[in-house]
Structure 1
Amino acid sequence: MGGCFSKPKPVELKIEVVLPEKERGKEELSASGKGSPRAYQGNGTARHFHTEERLPAPHPYPGAQDCVEAAICHVKDLENGQMREVELGWGKVLLVKDNGEFHALGHKCPHYGAPLVKGVLSRGRVRCPWHGACFNIGTGDLEDFPGLDSLHKFQVKIEKEKVYVRASKQALQLQRRTKVMAKCISPSAGHSSSTNVLIVGAGAAGLVCAETLRQEGFSDRIVLCTLDRHLPYDRPKLSKSLDAQPEQLALRPKEFFRAYGIEVLTEAQVVTVDVRNKKVVFKDGFKLEYSKLLLAPGSSPKMLSCKGKEVENVFTIRTPEDANRVMFENNRVKFYMQTEVSELRAQEGKLKEVVLKSSKVVRADVCVVGIGAVPATGFLRQSSINLDSRGFIPVNKMMQTNVPGVFAAGDAVTFPLAWRNNRKVNIPHWQMAHAQGRVAAQNMLAQEAEISTVPYLWTAMFGRSLRYAGYGEGFDDVIIQGDLEELKFVAFYTKGDEVIAVASMNYDPIVSKVAEVLASGRAIRKREVELFVLHSKTGDMSWLTGKGS
């Protein structure tokens, strides 16, 4: 079993660790009534941790020599609900006016750099126009995913009806803020066959779970294990940047994991989970005990079952190495619809032709298989953790399995989708995995959090981006605004009288607007959409939020 850090040596010593009791999961208050940062200890008590125990982060308004301050507009230049991107010399900020108050934040989404001024302002937060991440305008904190980092929040003051913004030069250039985290203080870290929290799977769900625990002040041992040979990376980019190297895709650098005491075991395959003794067994025989367990193994690509499936140059894309073996020479793509592969023919062992069920023969040097995935949960079949008939792990709204202390998140779970009347669903989206990882961590700390996010996904190829929000299974009608041939459109998926999903291309930020409306609990009626399509000639979507677009 490989590792980015030294592999713990098996020892006879067993360290019994108990996570905080429910009443200790609530935020402690100082005399001022504000939350006080804590670090949880192995005996379930909490201790305050000091500034020197945290990594230094750029402060949004340090000393005068490190700051820039400027008058950027008159108080009447912005109406309530408006946003504006303004220049401060060392960088731009997003100026927001909401309920009569001004707020200044980082202007780019830390996820992929989308301009937030083109996003959606609603309910005290701004939602990214590209992928739906949400940031609190009062704090800059990330409230909904995807992404890991928050925005910087800058000082605003009003003098003689002018709006002044004061900001750190460094923060203006970084345009992202990593939340304060606790460090590991467990004496057993790295030297024991016992851990407080074990996370199986280092995708979005696993990484967010580990980071959330540290953000909430948890300071005991966390071990993250993965089948991959790399630290956690941005898997959705694999199909968009086929030549990307692992270090270019990394979500966090190696130094981050060292600084916060998150141990990562790479090329580590779990073969058995013994929930009775709270122990996992790895393929090489190494055993690790845990107090809390998160199962986030993800999924495995489905393989072709046709004749010739073993020929060379037939690929799936799951890892950076997979992607690097596949290259597109141009974007001339032809679709063969309503058919499937019946045979792969080879010459000297390498792929030469693909035979379709329609008898059509397609010459091919490379075949990339993208026919879906199956949950990577085979190692759980002999455990007492419930699996459904398809191999998924059922969880409740708190991401808990049927076994106390065992949580699950990501592509391998089915969970109740609150927005669709708690219908049990599997949604293998990058954004959803982030949200589930956070909820699992919060409930490990007895915070009674529930999954409530609106599903949001995207894809891109050859310079075109498709965005989607909601859950469209079972739709019975589609209402389209725009031009499909020009690839500028929005499609509303309806079931009965209600919009249940939306997809768009070159129509930003409509998908983010719909996601925000659905997240607020308001239903979008089919008749509203029909009237809009019938009468609108401008494409204005202000009817969704009551504000101009």
Structure 2
Amino acid sequence: MLEVEVGHHSVLVTRSDGKYSAIGNQCTHYGAPLSKGKLMNEFVRCPWHGACFNVQTGDLEEFPGMDCLPCHKVRIQNSKVYVTVSKKNVGHEKRIKNMAAAMPGVTHTVLLVGGGAASLICAETLRQQNFGGRIIMVSRDELLPYDKTRLSKVMNVESDSIVLRRMEFYHQYDIEVWLRKEALAVDTDKKTVTFNDGSVQSYNQLLISTGCRAKGLDVPGMKLNNVKMLETPEDARQIHAACLGCNVVLVGTSFVGMEVASYLIDKAASVTVIGSSELPYQNTLGPEIGRVTMMMLSEKNIRFFMNDNVIEVKGVDGKVKEVVLKSGKVIPADVLIIGIGILPNSEFLRGSKIQMDSKNFVTVDKHMRTNVPDVYCGGDLATFPLAMAKNRMVNIGHWQMAQAHGRIAALNMLDKRTELNSVPFYWTVLLGKTMRYAGYGEGYTEIVMKGKVEERKFLAMYIKNDEVIAAVSLNFDPAVSAIAERFTSGKVITKKEAQSHDLSWLQLS
């Protein structure tokens, strides 16, 4: 791969199996330089968040990017490679795939309940595949589908800056969007959905992707003012405003909790984190990474009370004043932020024939189909078979996974039989540094570490049955993208390979 400038245009020139091609060099997700990513066969994977593009066509092959890349003309003459950027591509780093619109007289209706990533990508994929029927997306939000991953990273975010597509886009491609409207019931015999304003909409095919909501604490004092949970851009802005110059207590050491703590460092007077385990991320990433995370944040004066729980929130004049812990400690608090997990938004499916698991997540097959014909489910609400984990049923609340679900649901709605084969890819930001994670690490038995955790430059590989099942890195790009690419191609990474001092198999240079 080689990055070149063509008339102020950053172009990625690649040679793969003797074939030359030239595409835009900036990933359509957050603009990462693809030249620093991983090229494998005819695919290049972004070094930051794992989006994948076809180098011959520029087409997006794997999320979290939304758009394709411009593809430029290449000719070889006298052993030189000539790249031509056409006038229509000058200044354009992104390309929207050709999309159809509704066709007169086609009454077939696809109803998308939920206004997140799965619904949006489902709608776009249907139009990209020339579906000419009616598409209705219904969301209880007041905002068009937006980039949820930003909320815990940039909390004073303007809603307008994180919307994934503008209203003109939906108009142009005949995607109806109904906002501030919530589903109350689904009748799969009549093929109808009833909404909270009394309206009833019939469908031919239905995608349910209503996601999850934050779980509250079941303790006295939760109704006090300044007890906050993060779900919407409005919540994020309120948390930002409420915490300025105040004493903040944050309950939960999940990825979102740690991101919020990190964000508040230079804004709140004090930040105290309460965790029920010994270390942050203990179950997901293991003790070494939990320890370094705690160290990084402690150096910035964040206090941790681990192996503890909140038993009461006390207030004065209706507002939070202090938080009482099981250990007996009492912590002064002007704001209390709860980040202890999620609950599925599936209450409206009770009484329907749609099958749910013991935790009320909707179970689907590898085509994103529920047990009811013409009803699909995707995103955080779905429990689905993960190909790379030998089709084990999992629930993964990752942004990129929700997008993949939307695409697979759309293709199967159109009888283009396609199985979900995406590798989970996740990232989290702490103090301006990004940790990247690929794979599915549950049940790992040991960790192979490259680099030094204490120097904050490492690659950790999670081993189960003598093979790598997941990897996480900090300042070690594009290692996790390279590993994700190996997972995607179905090639096993052995424990021996992981332990080897020779990392040439990662082809990081």
SS of the equivalent of 2:482 reads: helix
Query: C-alpha offsets along residues 36-87 of structure 1, whole Å, 9 cap, x if unaligned?
Result: xxxxxxxxxxxxxxxxxxxxxxxxxxxxxxxxxxxxxxxxxxxxxxx11101
Q: Does residue 386 of structure 1 match 2:348?
A: no
Q: Does residue 355 of structure 1 match 2:268?
A: no
Structure 1 unaligned segments of length 5 or more: list them.
Answer: 1-82, 189-193
Query: C-alpha offsets along residues 227-268 of structure 1, whole Å, 9 cap, x if unaligned?
Result: 100111001101111111111110001100000000000011
Which range is displaced more, 342-351 or 325-334? 325-334
CA distance in 2, matches of 1:397, 1:170: 39
Query: C-alpha offsets along residues 75-125 of structure 1, whole Å, 9 cap, x if unaligned?
Result: xxxxxxxx1110112311011111112110000000011110010000210
Q: Which residue is equivalent to 2:219?
A: 306
Q: Does residue 109 of structure 1 match 2:64?
A: no
Equivalence map 1:41-440=2 (5 Å): 83-186=1-104, 196-327=109-240, 328=264, 329=267, 332-440=301-409
Is 2:75–2:82's contact at 8 Å kept on the other side of the alignment? yes
- Offset of 1:333 from its aligned partner? 2.3
Which range is displaced more, 323-332 or 523-532? 323-332
Based on CA coordinates, which of the two structures has the bigger radius of gyration? Answer: 1
Is 2:366–2:385's contact at 8 Å kept on the other side of the alignment? yes
Q: Which residue is equivalent to 1:528?
A: 497
The two structures have a TM-score, normalised by structure 1, of 0.81
SS of the equivalent of 1:255 reads: helix
Between structures 1 and 2, the one with greater helix share? 2
CA distance in 1, matches of 2:197, 2:383: 30
Q: Which residue is equivalent to 1:543?
A: 505
Amino acid corresponding to residue 234 of structure 1 in structure 2: D
CA distance in 2, matches of 1:518, 1:119: 16
Equivalence map 1:386-535=2 (5 Å): 386-532=355-501
Which range is displaced more, 349-358 or 314-323? 349-358
Is 1:316–1:322's contact at 8 Å kept on the other side of the alignment? yes
CA distance in 2, matches of 1:363, 1:542: 52
Which range is displaced more, 452-461 or 205-214? 452-461
CA distance in 2, matches of 1:159, 1:396: 51
- Offset of 1:325 from its aligned partner? 0.6
Which range is displaced more, 378-387 or 362-371? 362-371
CA distance in 1, matches of 2:27, 2:230: 27
SS of the equivalent of 1:258 reads: helix
Q: Closer, same or farther in 2 for the Cα pair 1:455/1:264, shift >3 Å? A: same
Query: C-alpha offsets along residues 477-504 of structure 1, whole Å, 9 cap, x if unaligned?
Result: 1121122222211111111311111111
CA distance in 1, matches of 2:122, 2:174: 14
Is 1:201–1:224's contact at 8 Å kept on the other side of the alignment? yes
- Offset of 1:548 from its aligned partner? 5.1
Is 1:195–1:223's contact at 8 Å kept on the other side of the alignment? no
Which range is displaced more, 167-176 or 493-502? 167-176
Which range is displaced more, 340-349 or 407-416? 340-349
Query: C-alpha offsets along residues 120-172 of structure 1, whole Å, 9 cap, x if unaligned?
Result: 00021000011111000110000111121001110000111111100124524
Q: Which residue is equivalent to 2:244?
A: none
Q: How many residue pairs get matched?
A: 453
Q: CA RMSD in A?
A: 1.4
CA distance in 1, matches of 2:456, 2:331: 27
SS of the equivalent of 2:303 reads: coil
CA distance in 1, matches of 2:82, 2:95: 22
The two structures have a TM-score, normalised by structure 2, of 0.87
- Offset of 1:347 from its aligned partner? 1.7
Is 1:381–1:387's contact at 8 Å kept on the other side of the alignment? no
- Offset of 1:185 from its aligned partner? 2.2
SS of the equivalent of 1:326 reads: helix
SS of the equivalent of 2:459 reads: strand
Structure 2 unaligned segments of length 5 or more: list them.
Answer: 241-263, 269-299
CA distance in 2, matches of 1:332, 1:87: 44
Is 1:119–1:512's contact at 8 Å kept on the other side of the alignment? yes
CA distance in 2, matches of 1:352, 1:219: 57
SS of the equivalent of 1:411 reads: helix
Amino acid corresponding to residue 95 of structure 1 in structure 2: V
- Offset of 1:195 from its aligned partner? 6.1
